[in-house]
DNA sequence: AATAAATAGATATAATTATATCGATAAGGT
DNA sequence: ACCTTATCGATATAATTATATCTATTTATT
């Protein structure tokens, strides 16, 4: 296998390149230059060139890159050609925001359902279920991503549950550093900490 | 002035240290060791020690750090001793989640109000106003942080408006790389891109 | 055909960030 | 008093990430 390892920093920029390449900004362009792309995304042009070289490497001097080829290559690198499904295990205000947000479909990711610890059956909300249904749901559907928005005290237990259900990537909105096996990816998305860091030294 | 510059990477970890130091986990501890803290936050112990040395530098061998002093020093480094106010300029599902979330108060940040581009006056929602009220509100209240959740096409214009209202930090949830003057800090919080990066290679 | 301009790609360098190693020091037991 | 242990702090090293510089290539222009 020639699984060329793409650095995390690059992987994190690829979605942005993809977004702009598919946007109206380039709708009339068959070819795209790294210089122009760099200006739009706000990175240095050398950085952009190296990022693109890493996934594609088919640019031509004076011309740039073929846009459609680039889009395809980035999608392959992000492994978002095929659809992926996610579920939320929830208990915070962010749940419904995530559940309703459609911008994830841009990357072929679909948040299919939400499971609540304290399920309140009296509301008839679509795609919201009690936690007890989670196991069966994950067996039936093809769920590879879990989103945790429960409170601090439950987060690790839910995480363990998701791992046991064979979920390979966890997006964690609780302010807890989760412990997972090596083969599971976790992204901590501590909103309060993010804002606090932003607000430091202003 | 001896404004010792703390690296961004450190600033981003400080909120997590603070969170755990103030949590029940340490409620019976007067002193805290870097080793124990490292285990809890999931970083290497040397990293933790260097981070703490950067803000405090008062640890004692065999003993650790005085918890309360550490908390104070971290709060000073994060400049969250004094309260800061934020507003949202909104149009996405995340608005109400942010507006209702109280976890920001842990860092003395308060999201006070939301301003909508397409204001629908028929609902009587607390702290939600039309965009036209923003200017006056920012003059009256002491607002230093702006949160942008409007769509792609409006984001830069709203950003310019916030900058003109003397806002010094912008948390940007729209999938646009904003252009700001040097003295304004921006954190791009592109949720779809985050999830896409997480979901790559799983 | 020669030249200029734009741009990719390679190489080199710098900056940032994280980790490992080791000596010094404070507390507690022997 | 001395040894042991836990821990800090300093120094050194490594890994990661970003930027700068240079050369080669392709197209357009003269």
The 10s digit of each residue's pLDDT in B60-85 is 999 999 999 999 999 999 999 999 99
Residue B199 has pLDDT above 60, yes or no: yes
What pLDDT score was predicted for residue A1? 40
Q: Give backbone dihedrals phi and psi of B10, rounded to 5 degrees, phi first.
A: -70, -45
The 3-state secondary structure of chain A reads: CCCCCCCHHHHHHHHHHHHHHCCHHHCCCCEECHHHHHHHHCCCHHHHHHHHHHHCCCCECCCEEEHHHHHHHHHHHCCCCCCEEEEEEECCCHHHHHHHCCHHHHHCEEEEEEEECCCCCCCCCCCEEEHHHHHHHHHHCCEEEEEECCCHHHHHHHHHHHHHCCCCEEEECCCCCCCCCCCCEEEECCHHHHHHHHHCCC
Closest chain A residue to the Cα of B179, Cα to Cα:
A42
Strand D lies under 7 A from the Cβ of residue B66:
no
Judged by a CB distance cut-off of 8 A, whether residue B197 touches chain A is yes
Distance A25 CA to D7 C1' (A): 57
pLDDT of residue B54 exceeding 90, the answer is yes
State the pLDDT at residue B124: 67
> Which residue's CA is nearest to the C1' of nucleotide C24?
B61
For the segment B150-169, the average pLDDT, to the nearest whole number, is: 97
Query: Is beta strand B84-90 parallel, antiparallel or unpaired with respect to B169-172?
Result: unpaired
Of A15, A109, A199, which is closest to B145 when you measure between CB atoms? Answer: A199
Which pLDDT belongs to residue A59? 94
Per-residue pLDDT at B57 = 80
Model confidence pLDDT, tens digit, residues A134-174: 999 999 999 999 999 999 999 999 999 999 999 999 999 99
The answer to whether B42 CB is within 7 Å of strand D is: no
Smallest CA–CA distance from B102 into chain A, residue: A192
Using 50, 70 and 90 to split pLDDT, how confident is the model at B1? very low
- Compute CA distances A130 → A88, A115, A172, whole Å: 11, 5, 19
pLDDT at B68: 97
Three-state secondary structure call for residue B42: coil
Q: Does A72 touch chain B (CB under 8 A)?
A: no
Query: Rounded CA gap, A134 and B145, in Å?
Result: 39
Strand blocks (E) in chain B? 31-32, 65-66, 84-90, 109-116, 128-130, 143-148, 169-172, 185-188
More confident of the two residues A68 and A2:
A68
pLDDT tens digits, one per residue of A35-73: 999 999 999 999 999 999 999 989 999 999 999 999 999
Q: Is A57 left (phi over 0), alpha (psi -120 to 50) or beta?
A: left
pLDDT of residue B125: 82
Residues 75-94 of A with CB under 7 A from strand D: none
C1'-nearest nucleotide to the CA of A50: C9
The reported pLDDT for the residue numbered B188 is: 97
What pLDDT was estimated at residue A2? 41
**Which of B21, B41, B95, B199 best tests the A interface by mutation, with the highest count of A CBs <10 A?**
B199
Note which residues in 98-137 of chain B have CB less than 8 A from chain A.
98, 100-101, 103-104, 106-107, 109
Mean pLDDT of chain A: 95
Residue of A44, A108, A169, A197 to mutate for B, most B C-beta atoms under 10 A: A197
Q: What's residue A3's pLDDT?
A: 55
User: Closest partner residue to B196 among A78, A97, A200, by Cβ?
Assistant: A78
* List of chain B residues whose C-beta atoms are within 8 Å of the C-beta of residue A177: 16, 40-42
Yes or no, beta carbons of B103 and A192 under 8 Å apart:
yes
pLDDT, residue A191, reads: 97
The model's pLDDT over A65-85, given as tens digits with 9 standing for 90+, comes to: 999 999 999 999 999 999 999
Residue A120 — very low, low, confident or very high, per pLDDT cuts 50/70/90? confident
Question: Are A85 and A144 a contacting pair, CB within 8 Å?
Answer: yes
Q: Which residues contact A110 (CB under 8 A, 6 or more apart)?
A: A83, A84, A85, A86, A104
């Amino acid at each position: 296998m020639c699984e060329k390892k793409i650095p995390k920093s690059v992987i994190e920029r690829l979605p942005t390149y993809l977004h702009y390449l598919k946007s109206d900004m380039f709708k009339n362009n068959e070819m795209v230059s790294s210089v122009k792309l760099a200006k739009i995304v706000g990175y240095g042009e050398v950085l952009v060139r190296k990022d693109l070289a890493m996934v594609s490497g088919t640019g031509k001097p004076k011309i740039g890159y073929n846009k459609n080829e680039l889009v395809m290559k980035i999608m392959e690198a992000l492994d978002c050609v095929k659809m992926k499904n996610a579920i939320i295990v929830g208990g915070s205000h962010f749940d419904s925001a995530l559940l309703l947000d459609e911008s994830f479909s841009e990357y072929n990711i679909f948040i299919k359902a939400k499971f609540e610890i304290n399920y309140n059956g009296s509301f008839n909300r679509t795609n919201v279920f009690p936690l007890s249904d989670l196991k069966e749901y994950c067996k039936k559907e093809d769920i590879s991503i879990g989103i945790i928005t429960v409170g601090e005290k439950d987060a690790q237990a839910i995480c363990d549950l998701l791992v046991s259900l064979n979920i390979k990537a966890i997006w964690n909105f609780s302010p807890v550093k989760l412990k997972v096996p090596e083969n599971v990816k976790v992204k901590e998305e501590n909103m309060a900490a993010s804002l606090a860091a932003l607000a430091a030294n202003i």
